[in-house]
Amino acid sequence: MQFNSFSEFINMGGYGFYVWLSFGVSALLLVILLISSKADHQKIINNIAKQKQREDKLRQARELRKQQASSAQDEAEQATS
Amino acid sequence: MKSLSYRDAFFLVLKRDITIALRHRDDIINPLLFFIIVVTLFPLGIGPEANTLSQIAPGIIWVAALLATLLSLDRLFKSDYNDGSLEQMLLSPHPIFLLVLAKVVAHWLITGLPLIFIAPLLAVLLHLNEQSYGALILTLLLGTPVLSLLGAVGVALTVGIKKGGVLLSLLVLPLYIPVLIFATSAIDTASIGLPYSGQLAIIAALFFGSLTLAPFAVGAALKVSTN
Amino acid sequence: MKSLSYRDAFFLVLKRDITIALRHRDDIINPLLFFIIVVTLFPLGIGPEANTLSQIAPGIIWVAALLATLLSLDRLFKSDYNDGSLEQMLLSPHPIFLLVLAKVVAHWLITGLPLIFIAPLLAVLLHLNEQSYGALILTLLLGTPVLSLLGAVGVALTVGIKKGGVLLSLLVLPLYIPVLIFATSAIDTASIGLPYSGQLAIIAALFFGSLTLAPFAVGAALKVSTN
Amino acid sequence: MLLKGENLTCIREDRLLFDDLNVEINAGDIVQVEGPNGSGKTSLLRILAGLSQPYEGNVLFKQTAISQCREEYHENLLYFGHLPGVKGEMSAEENLSFNLALHGLDTSETHDDLAHVNLLGFEDSLASHLSAGQHRRIALARLYQSQAPIWILDEPFTAIDKQGVASLEQRFTEHAEQGGCVILTTHQDLLAISSDKVKKITLDYAFE
Amino acid sequence: MLLKGENLTCIREDRLLFDDLNVEINAGDIVQVEGPNGSGKTSLLRILAGLSQPYEGNVLFKQTAISQCREEYHENLLYFGHLPGVKGEMSAEENLSFNLALHGLDTSETHDDLAHVNLLGFEDSLASHLSAGQHRRIALARLYQSQAPIWILDEPFTAIDKQGVASLEQRFTEHAEQGGCVILTTHQDLLAISSDKVKKITLDYAFE
Amino acid sequence: MWKWLHPYANPEVSYHFTGRLLPWFSALAAILLSIGLVWALLFAPADYQQGDSFRIFYIHVPAASLSMGIYFGMAIAALCSLVWQLKLADASAAAMAPVGAVFTAIALLTGSAWGKPMWGTWWIWDARLTSELILLFLYLGVIALHSAFEDKNLAGKAAGILTLVGSINLPIIKYSVEWWNTLHQGSTVSKLGKPSMSLDMLWPFLFCFLGFAMLVAVIVCYRFRNEILARNSIRPWVRELVSARATHK
Ligand code: HEM
Ligand SMILES: Nc1ncnc2c1ncn2[C@@H]1O[C@H](COP(=O)(O)OP(=O)(O)OP(=O)(O)O)[C@@H](O)[C@H]1O
Ligand SMILES: Nc1ncnc2c1ncn2[C@@H]1O[C@H](COP(=O)(O)OP(=O)(O)OP(=O)(O)O)[C@@H](O)[C@H]1O
Ligand SMILES: [Mg+2]
Ligand SMILES: [Mg+2]
């Protein structure tokens, strides 16, 4: 152990500001990077889920239109017959 | 319908432009990076002596700010012109100067403001005299809006011309020269500890002058360009 | 049909690009004017002392040349991309690197060459040491083609991106740094009467290196951007 | 009478496109400007919208020259040109909302409007990620909200599929019936609108 | 068999446009790619031309993957996209000459080609001074010289007037009869080509 | 020869494989870093010239060398993707770029913070410093290019080309800057009088270095897996995975 007291440790032989600035900023940047990388995972998964929902919606709209078209056709046929 | 007040119309356009910039985050980051890169090019071209650098630092920072603004200018109307949005805006039932003003304000918020935050960092890189930091910030704060406003006139005039990129700089740079001269002179004055309020007052005058006149000039120029 | 030799294809594209530039004479004049204006901004921003100026002259001239080239770069592919000509060129039965090379040569003839003619004049304005003129011209002659070639890679990468303007500078400027450093160092060395053939040799090496590699990188990049 | 062009003359590149043209457009009209490529259709439409000045002549909106009453005229005008005015960086919905809001229209029903132009499911896609036709449809969605009586549309059917063209034509009829007017150009035949309802202005000076 | 697409899959923006599509195009075919807006017609054409890579699958020209024989394929291909590839700064004639020369074609008869697309009298006008349709016609003039058997045309009729459309259709028929093939998209009906001569590829995955 | 690699070129396999590696990497990183940092901050001796400011060394040097190492890795990945058309190589390059940029930034920041007490200035235009700054620009260029393309596969290819061009350029930059510097100035600021490193300084340094390297591996793994998911979003295996994991609102 190089330091006798906590305050000495914080002071770092007069270089406290620079040492803690370096360690602090580095830790901050790395933690942000780590967390954002992890958080992206869920974000991407949610995006893909949303994508899937959108596709489902499209498919429904498509089916509805198909039904409408066929029923319209039926009507037209009935009208002619 | 038709109930949109001046204020609403202003904020509508402002919000739209800022949304687009945030969406395309590069729009904010890139002029900033350009600013930084240009500032770092000079030490590379000139040599690393701290003395020389600190002497020419105000000039370099301001020239770089000027060029960064210049390069970002064509975002102002060019893309709106190319996709027809500008036409639609000119056809909207609002005074044109209002919409123009909103676009210019958005442009400044996107490109001018970030420069002001990053400038002190670059000043460190160039060993700017410590007494000059205040003057640097103040001149940038008053000067960059002038750059956006005057630049808007230039873009508006060149927007209809294909490949107006470099012609624009020809039109705009001479207009920027007074700002450059007074701003660097203010910073130099500050570095030897003298008051620089005179120069600041002139820049402020330029600011208010261009704020009131430029939007109308831009409006007229746009009408000509889209003809 | 199909009888077009490599040489013919090269000259066909070269001639077309130069025709367009001559038609639109601004294309030649504007980078030149930008160069001049940037160089004259510095005495305004820094102050007129001859000593300081002559010391920083090589750096300023070279940085200005670099920025002028940068600003003129998007003429290289952007307009061809926007109107579909680029697509057509990629679909022509010629090797892409050949067409790319023709376009880059045209770009250099249009923007690089005029800079070399005007540079001595600006050197006078900045009180460049008289012994350095030869070095200035030689470095520009060997260096500006490198700027065009490396710049072409950057434009090719960003041409499909909306508003790539400032992103381009971010990509390209780091690549320009060696040229800047060796060129200014050659000029400085010349000013104290020492031989600068070492620096020149390196710039020449950069030139031949980029001449052989860049067209292929550009070709690959264009295929990606137009996808 | 909604809109009137008096003695309009247009010269481009020393070529006289039309000379002394008089146009009168009333509520309920559907006017198709016809003519081969390069006959001056776009030029005429831009003059009527006030985007270009004619070489000679005047455009009157309710008896006033449009340069005299610019803002009032623009409140009553919807213009759709060769370029659709859609920003690639915004989603379909954001584009439409902005366009509507700029003209003081209600932005609460953008969903329905987008459904009208068959963009359901693409509300949140960036416009630059859509196909040529879908891109133009975003701009056309405005037609389903617009309260402006005068519509000036330059080739609205470009890149639109058949079903889309049919529903647009139906919308034009509705608009005319509600007292508006539509001035349009197209090289296709109008199918859903009976030809006796369509007034035609034929430009063919250059080739006559 | 001139051109073949094997198991083509295309994904844009996470949307599957087509999946496992097989296309075979022989000499003499006129193929119309059909589908509503956004169904992937342009995407398919760009893949066939080699401008985009499919997510999966291959395009074969005379049994060879086109990435393997790029230059030979391009000698045999004429592609015309949404953008016409015409430079506004050059005159109509200069544009055409360049386009022809780039593909190794004869440039001595540009006058006749321009006459075919009704641009007589506009040879020396700058392309940017022409109307929307005239602008596209400059690019289309190449069709009257081209010796490439494979034509891929994305909405060639956009902005073209009726007479122009008719003469283009006639040119397509000629080309097919001479042993070429035409792959095109359009939202208009082909009028001058009898419908039994036209093969159709229908894309409507998204809306099926 | 490449056969053994083949299964790992399958996105699904590499997704699960990296998933299995992750906990091991994380544990190693945590252990090595906590030992190394505690040792460096508390037990390592102060430098006889620089005093306790020397402790910045334990971050600065690993960060600086990793910043260059990651670029090297990226260049190799880019080369693989261009030569063998490996889509996964693109994904890994994309995963590395932001990590490299952060480490470059850390090297710059800690260097500056060390320079202020040692050299009396936050920044000088020294060769090493300048080339590190340019490296940061290269990283930022790659990242910006990545984010500018919407299609991630295209983005990967474009960024790959840029990475390769940059990697050819990097030695030239380094050389030029060094040369430029010695030519202009006889070193006005005395560079670090290189202490022959004693063992009780070397050990904590080794722990820190390996710890940071492991941390890089962890973060790159996370990002790599994200890239794989985003690029394969329509694959059935991704769809299944998503329906199991999506948070429903
Ligand atoms: C912004 C400022 C600085 C930057 C960008 C920087 C950058 C670098 C780089 C790139 C390396 C090479 C790492 C490697 O080769 O693996 C390095 C190593 C090193 N730096 Fe710095 N540095 C900076 C400031 C400082 C300061 C102020 C000191 C000390 C007074 C310092 C001390 C060292 C030491 C001791 C090494 C290891 C040298 C060796 O063994 O090769 N650095 N730095
Ligand atoms: N640049 C792009 N980025 C992402 N997605 C795109 C892009 N271009 C097109 N798409 C998507 O691909 C789909 C098909 O587009 P494509 O241009 O092939 O359609 P199209 O059939 O040619 O339609 P149109 O008839 O409107 O021309 C669109 O729905 C769109 O969602
Ligand atoms: N920007 C311009 N500068 C000079 N002349 C122009 C310009 N634009 C058009 N012209 C000329 O005006 C004529 C008419 O153009 P206009 O765009 O009005 O035609 P149009 O009827 O809309 O044709 P299209 O059916 O092709 O759209 C053209 O023949 C052209 O010569
Ligand atoms: Mg028209
Ligand atoms: Mg299409």
Q: What is the ipTM of this complex?
A: 0.86
User: Same domain for E189 and E93?
Assistant: no
User: Is the confidence at residue F153, as pLDDT, over 60?
Assistant: yes
Domain boundary among E120, E146, E172: E146
Tally of helices (H runs) and strands (E runs) in chain E: 6, 9
Note whether D96 and D181 are same-domain residues.
no
Distance between CA F237 and CA F227 in Å, rounded?
A: 15
| Average pLDDT over all residues of chain B | 88
3-state SS record for B117-155: HHHHHHHHHCCCCHHHHHHHHHHHHHHHHHHHHHHHHHH
Instruction: Give the lowest-confidence range in B117-126, E92-101, F177-186.
Output: F177-186
Which pLDDT does position E207 carry in this prediction? 43
Q: Alpha-carbon distance A40 to A37, whole Å?
A: 5
Task: Tell me if F150 and E14 make a contact (CB, 8 A cut-off).
Answer: no
Residue C2 has pLDDT above 60, yes or no: no
Which residues, judged by CB distance below 6 Å to any ligand atom, belong to the binding site of ligand 1? F 57, 60-61, 64-65, 107-108, 111-112, 114-115, 118-119, 128-129, 132, 192
Chain F CB contacts of D129 under 8 Å are 150
For residue B31, the CA-to-ligand 5 centroid distance in Å is 34
Q: DSSP readout, chain C?
A: -----HHHHHHHHHHHHHHHHHHSTHHHHHHHHHHHHHHHHHHHHH---HHHHHHHHHHHHHHHHHHHHHHHGGGTTHHHHHTTHHHHHHTSSS-HHHHHHHHHHHHIIIIIHHHHHHHHHHHHHTT--GGGHHHHHHHHHHHHHHHHHHHHHHHHHHTTSTT-HHHHHHHHHHHHHHHHHHHHHHHHHHHTT---HHHHHHHHHHHHHHHHHHHHHHHHHHHHHT-
Same domain, D142 and D168: no
Nearest CA in chain F to A27: F106
3-state secondary structure of D87: coil
Chain D residues touching chain B at CB-CB below 8 Å = 49-53, 71-72, 74-75, 77, 79, 81-90, 94, 98-99, 101-106, 147
Structure-model confidence comparison of residues C27 and F37, the more confident one: F37
The partner residues of A48 in beta bridges, in order of sequence, read none
In this structure, the residue with its CA closest to atom 30 of ligand 2 is D130
Together in a domain, E69 and E164: yes
Instruction: Give the pairing type, strands D15-25 and D3-12.
Output: antiparallel
The greatest distance separating any two alpha carbons of chain C, rounded to the nearest whole angstrom, comes to: 65
The span from the CA of D198 to the CA of D173, in Å, is 10
Q: How far is B155 from chain E (nearest CA, A)?
A: 20
Closest A-chain CA to F113: A18
Question: CA F199, F202, F208, F210: dihedral to nearest 10 degrees?
Answer: -100
Against chain A, the chains showing at least 3 CB pairs within 8 Å are: D, E, F
**What was the pLDDT predicted at F53?**
81
Q: How far apart are CA A70 and CA B7, in angstroms?
A: 51
CA F191 – ligand 1 centroid, Å:
10
Rounded CA-CA distance C4/E69 in Å is 18
F90, F165, F175, F179, best to mutate vs chain C, most C CBs in 10 Å: F165
Q: How many angstroms separate the CA of residue C215 from the nearest CA in chain D?
A: 30
What is the structure's pLDDT at D207?
Answer: 45
Measured CA to CA in angstroms, residue E108 lies from E84, E96, E140, E149 at distances of 22, 11, 17, 21
Max CA pair span of chain B = 65
Instruction: Give the residue from D13, D17, D8 showing the smallest Cα distance to D38.
Output: D17
Given a contact cutoff of 8 angstroms between Cβ atoms, the answer to whether B68 and B38 are in contact is: yes
Q: Which atom of ligand 3 is nearest to the CA of D33?
A: 21
CA C54 – CA C57 distance, rounded (Å): 5
Question: How far is C154 from C207, CA to CA, in rounded Å?
Answer: 17
Judgement on whether residues E122 and E193 belong to the same structural domain of the protein: no
| pLDDT at site F249 | 45
Which residues are CB-contacts of B13 (< 8 A; sequence separation ≥ 6)?
A: B89, B99, B102, B103, B106, D102
Domain span at residue D112 reads 85-146
pLDDT, tens digit (0-9, with 9 covering 90-100), for D75-123: 899 999 888 889 888 899 999 999 898 888 888 888 889 999 989 888 8
Per the structure, the count of domains in chain A is: 1
Candidate from F50, F52, F56, F60 with most ligand 1 atoms within 8 A of CB, to mutate:
F60
Residues E126, E191, single domain; the answer is no
- Tell me the C-alpha distance between D104 and D77, whole Å: 12
* pLDDT exceeds 50 at position F188: no
- What gap in Å lies between CA F76 and CA F219, rounded to an integer? 19
Same domain, E1 and E72: yes
User: What is d(CA B24, CA F45) in angstroms, rounded to the nearest whole number?
Assistant: 49
Identify the pLDDT of residue B182: 93
Residues E67 and E153 both lie in one domain: yes
Query: If pLDDT is split at 50, 70 and 90, which confidence band does C211 have?
Result: very high
pLDDT at B164 > cutoff 80: no
Show residues of chain F in contact with E13, CB under 8 Å.
150
Given a contact cutoff of 8 angstroms between Cβ atoms, the answer to whether C178 and C204 are in contact is no
Q: What's the CATH code of the domain at E24?
A: 3.40.50.300
Residue F5: predicted pLDDT: 55
**Residue (of E47, E48, E73, E75) closest to E62 by Cα position:** E73
Whether the CB-CB separation of C206 and C178 falls below 8 Å is answered with yes
d(CA C101, CA F17): 45
Domain extents for chain F?
56-186+197-245
Q: Which of C90-104, C134-148, E13-27, E153-167 has the weakest average pLDDT?
A: E13-27
Write down which residue in D146, D162, D191 finishes a domain.
D146
Residue in E with minimal Cα distance to A67: E208
Residue nearest to atom 22 of ligand 2 (CA): E42
CA angle A72, A75, A80 (to 5 degrees): 130
Q: What is the pLDDT of residue B120?
A: 93
Q: Among the bound ligands, name the one nearest to the CA of residue D37.
A: 3
| pLDDT bracket for residue A81 (50, 70, 90) | low
- The answer to whether residues D113 and D100 belong to one domain is yes
Q: What is the pLDDT of residues D15-63, one digit of tens each?
A: 888 888 999 999 999 999 999 998 899 999 999 998 888 999 999 998 8
Cβ(C175)–Cβ(C149) below 8 Å: no
Strands D181-185, D150-154: pairing kind: parallel
CA C48 to CA C26: how far, in whole Å? 31
Task: Report the separation in Å between the CA atom of E133 and the middle of ligand 3, taken as the mean of its atom positions.
Answer: 9
- F211/F104 Cα distance (integer angstroms): 17
R_g of chain F, CA atoms, integer Å: 21
Residues on chain B touching C39 (C-beta within 8 angstroms): none
Q: What is the pLDDT of residues C59-104, one digit of tens each?
A: 999 999 999 998 888 788 988 988 889 988 998 888 999 999 999 9
At E8, the pLDDT band (50, 70, 90 cuts) reads very high
Contact residues of ligand 2, CB 6 A cut-off:
D 129-134, 159; E 12-13, 15, 17, 35, 37-43; F 150
Instruction: For E30-80, write each residue's pLDDT tens digit.
Output: 999 999 998 899 999 999 999 998 888 999 998 899 988 888 999 899 999
Residue of E nearest to B163 (CA): E89
Nearest atom in ligand 2 to the alpha carbon of residue E41 is: 21
Structure tokens, B226: 């889209």
Q: How far is CA E83 from the centre of its chain?
A: 11
Is F191's pLDDT higher than 50? no
Position C217 pLDDT exceeds 90: yes
Average pLDDT of the residues in E188-193:
84
**Across A7-25, average pLDDT:** 85
Residues E1 and E71 in one domain: yes
| pLDDT surpasses 60 at B165 | no
Top-confidence residue, B209 or B40: B209
Residue C216: half-sphere exposure toward Cβ, Cα within 13 Å: 8
Task: Give the number of the atom of ligand 3 that is nearest the alpha carbon of residue D187.
Answer: 25
Indicate the pTM of the whole model: 0.87
- Ligand whose nearest atom lies closest to the CA of E51: 2
Work out the mean pLDDT of chain D and round it to a whole number.
89
Q: How many CB atoms lie within 10 A of CB B28?
A: 17
Percent of chain D at pLDDT exceeding 90: 50
Number of domains making up chain D: 2
Q: How confident is the model at residue A24 (pLDDT cuts 50, 70, 90)?
A: very high
pLDDT 10s digits, B78-102: 888 888 889 888 888 888 999 999 9
Cα-to-centroid distance, D86 and ligand 2 (Å): 15
What share of chain B in percent tops pLDDT 70? 96
**Predicted confidence (pLDDT) at residue C6 exceeds the cutoff of 70:** yes
Cα distance between residue C168 and residue C171, in whole Å: 5
DSSP letters for B10-73: HHHHHHHHHHHHHHTTHHHHHHHHHHHHHHHHHHHHH---HHHHHHHHHHHHHHHHHHHHHHHG
Task: Say which amino acid occupies F164.
Answer: L
Cβ atoms E40, E205 nearer than 8 A: yes
